[in-house]
A and B are shown apart, each in its own frame.
Chain A
Amino acid sequence: DVQMTQSPSYLAASPGESVSISCKASKSISNNLAWYQEKPGKANKLLIHSGSTLQSGTPSRFSGSGSGTDFTLTIRSLEFEDFAVYYCQQYNEYPLTFGSGTKLEIK
C-alpha cells in the first residue's frame, strides 16, 4: 500500500498569512494526488487534483505542486473560511490512501 505522510498535523495561522502543507508518498504516484477540505457540518470538498489542478470553484489562493513522491498544498492570504482540516489522497493505485490530515486553526 502507498503510505501518505502528511505534515504538519496542526498549523496555526492568522488571516492574511500564507501556509503550506506537505504530503509525501511512500513511492512514486506520478501526479495522481488530490487535496480535500473538511469542515464541520459540510461535505468534504475536492480542492485540487492531479497534484496542481484546481477543481472548478476552488479559489485561486489555493495552489498545489509536486509530483512523484513530494507534494505541497499552499494557501496564500488566508481567509476565515479556509480554517479547516486538509487531507491529501493518492489515486495512483488501489487501495486508495489518505494522509493523516492537517488541522489549520486561527492563531
Chain B
Amino acid sequence: QIQLVQSGPELKKPGESVKISCKASGYTFTDYAMHWVKQAPGKGLKWMGWINTYTGKPTYADDFKGRFVFSLEASASTANLQISNLKNEDTATYFCARRYILFDYWGQGVMVTVSS
C-alpha cells in the first residue's frame, strides 16, 4: 500500500540545522511531486513548496526561501527537508505530501521543536 513515512521528532537549539526525511513506498517515486507543508502549534496548514522527484528541481514558497532546502535520495525513494539557522518560529510539525493534482497521500508529520 502507498505510504509516506517520515523521520522522528527533533529537538534543536536556535541556530542549529535539522534534516527530516520522507520515505515513499507503494508507488513509483518519480511519478509524483513531493510537497512540504508546515503546521505551527495550534495553527493551520501552510504550503512550503515542492520538489520535482524526476528532475530534482525544488520550488519554494516565498516565506520559505533561503534557509529551507528540499532534496532527494531518489534511489531510496526519499525526499528530505533541511532547515538551517533554526529560529523559534520554526517550531512546527512538517508534513510531506505527494501530489499530482491533489495531495492524496500525506506523511504522518515530524515535530521539530526549537528551544534554547
Asked whether any CB of chain B lies closer than 8 Å to the CB of A59, the reply is no
Chain B contact residues (Cβ within 8 angstroms of A): what range?
10 to 19
Which residues on B are within 8 Å of A, measured CB to CB?
4, 35, 44-47, 61-62, 95, 97, 101-109
Write the chain B residue with the least CB distance to A95.
Answer: B61
Nearest CB of chain A from residue B68's CB, rounded to whole Å: 14
Asked, given contacts A97-B47, A98-B44, A98-B45, whether A43 binds B102 with beta carbons under 8 Å apart, the answer is no
Interface size on A, residues (CB 8 A): 20
- 9 additional contacts (CB under 8 A) given A43-B4, A43-B107, A87-B45: A43-B108, A44-B97, A46-B103, A46-B104, A89-B45, A95-B47, A96-B47, A97-B47, A98-B47
| Chain B contact residues: helix, strand, loop or mixed | strand
Q: Across the interface, do B103 and A44 meet the contact criterion of CB distance under 8 Å?
A: yes
Nearest CB of chain B from residue A79's CB, rounded to whole Å: 22
Neighbouring A residues of B4 by C-beta, 8 Å = 43
Write the chain A residue with the least CB distance to B101.
Answer: A91
Asked whether any CB of chain B lies closer than 8 Å to the CB of A34, the reply is yes
Asked, given contacts A43-B108, A44-B97, A95-B61, whether A100 binds B44 with beta carbons under 8 Å apart, the answer is yes
Neighbouring B residues of A36 by C-beta, 8 Å = 103
Identify A44's interface contact among B47, B62, B95, B101, CB under 8 A.
B95
